[in-house]
Amino acid sequence: MLFKSTHLATAVLGLLPAANARLRTCVPRDLPAIKVFGLQVVDISAKEHRGYEDWMPSPMTGMTGPKRPIDFCNVTITYTHPGQGDRVNVYVWLPLEDWNGRFLGQGGGGWTAGWEMSLAPSVAAGYAVAITDAGHQVIYSLADMNDTRSWTLTSPGNINWVLLQNFASRALDDLPKVAQQVIKGFYGEPAKYSYWSGCSTGGRQGLMSAQRYPKNFDGIVAAAPAINWATFVVAELWAHITMRKVDYHPPSCELEAIRQEAIKACDELDGVKDGVVAAPGLCKFDAKSIVGQTFDCGGVVRKISAKAAEVANAIWEGPVRNGRRVWYGLPHEAPLSALAATECDTQNEKCKSKPFAISISWIRDVVMRGQDIDLSSLNEDEYWSILHRSVNEFASIMSTDDPDLSEFKASGGKMITWHGLADQLIPVNGSSDYYEKVLALDPDARSYYRYFEAPGVTHCAGGPGAAPNAVLDTLVKWVEQGIAPETLDAATVPADKAEAARHRPLCLYPLVAAYVGGELAEAGSFECAESFGVGKRHTEL
């Protein structure tokens, strides 16, 4: 549940609220000198906001309670690593009243280390919250993410290793150290607990913190994490390599028609007909089985082609070289409009590749160091060479795939990861693969790290499935009360206001939510089991 009252939340979670009276005013001279080894502060600014209403609750932050005016002090610390020539900003928003005594670091998405606009919901929930920009301009639109040469390169052919390392890891270590000093100076006492919450890039940042800076956070939410970066970002280009190989670039309507047939074929594998593929591992649908079937494409009746079926199958299987799968593909239910996008004429007859923006920028601006190359024209040999170079040169910096969490465990930290089974950008099997490697090293890992999968949920949010809510509250209970989550509460977001939300338990991996009888919309109609076969069957038309 989401607490509507900060006082109620802190009482239930066993943490007394900090004193409401502020010890300092919201002016830079009243803030302490920031001292962190290896960095030098060059500027501090502060601005008080009262009755701030220019914000909306966001599932991306885990804060979806009712919107209300908020009062806070916005502190911006600008610093550099002497001799490195960088300039990094940390933004800290401090509630003027009803601080819950906790610090929350928040993550970003894509190439952005953090969005200042995402901080308000956390302030409304009582957190002192902070982000970093990692030393480069905040990127707000996906279109702007396909050109990062302004900061990834010092000059054509030369990587800006300082800013790349800031984004990958170093700024994540600086952030809590800077923010905690601001918090102590402002309130007169340190935060009692320190948390991290993020999805996608924010999820990767959370896992990076657990792996490299294990003492910085008491609890971490790392959702749909962009780990295995050096591999999966190049793997996102695989659909376009296949399109070039078969010499056909399907319009989006054709791939969507194939996807819908896959969903129909695999929907009831979990014993429930609800438009969600909850058992993707059991889905063996072959797109070749529907070649010649008609579909509607913008009012024009067309037939599914053999070449489009080959493209769809390749997307689901993932990159394969010499009969060996190099990385995971997308689940059958995942939308294909991002990683298999094409640009077509008005009749959807002549189409060309439109690779994903982050794949373009990573390969062109980092791996190939700014060379102007047409990624849609790569052949397979060139593709494998780029993938090998990406992993060989950048995995240690960006991939965030170290399964050794022993230091995080020793520090007493707790971490929750969840990932949507219909994620259209980051193959969910990358997360389950990582979790299994953690368990292989430490069979007791569930005592401090728990992973959940969300059927029907797309990247970070969206889709027909039930997405987890209040994950941060769940983490707080685990950290502060020792209540480890066996399930995550999840609910659908109805497209129609008249439609009721459906509730599901998300089970601790590898358990699944099996239907055992009752109303399909009720969480109590499901129980966690080793397979779907233990449940009953339910058909809802």
Active site residues: 200, 423, 459
Beta bridge partners of 79: 41, 88
The beta strand positions in 60-188, using DSSP E, are 70-80, 88-95, 102-106, 128-132, 153-155, 158-159
Sign of the Cα pseudo-torsion (19, 25, 27, 28, in order):
negative
Asked if residues 124 and 64 have their Cβ atoms less than 8 Å apart, the reply is no
Given phi > 0 = left and psi -120 to 50 = alpha, else beta, which region is 319?
beta
299: CB partners within 8 A, 6+ apart: none
Distance of alpha carbon 444 from alpha carbon 84, whole angstroms:
41
Q: Please name which of 343, 369, 344, 360 lies closest in space to residue 142, comparing C-alpha atoms.
A: 360
Count Cβ atoms below 10 Å from residue 124 Cβ, excluding itself: 22
Spatial contact of 531 and 514, defined as CB atoms under 8 Å apart = yes
Structure tokens at 539: 């058909």
CA-based R_g, the chain, Å:
24
Q: How many angstroms separate the CA atoms of 355 and 341, rounded? A: 6
Residues in the chain: 541
- The three-state secondary structure class of 240 is helix
| Cβ burial 428-446 (10 Å sphere, 16+ → b, else e) | bbbbbbbbeebbeebeebe
Exposure b/e, 241-266, CB count within 10 A at least 16 = b: bbbbebebbbbbebbbbbbebbbebb
Q: Which residue is it, tokens 């549940």? A: 1
Please name the helix (run of DSSP H) or strand (run of DSSP E) that holds residue 514, with its range, or none.
Answer: strand 512-515
Q: Tokens representing 422? A: 């219909």
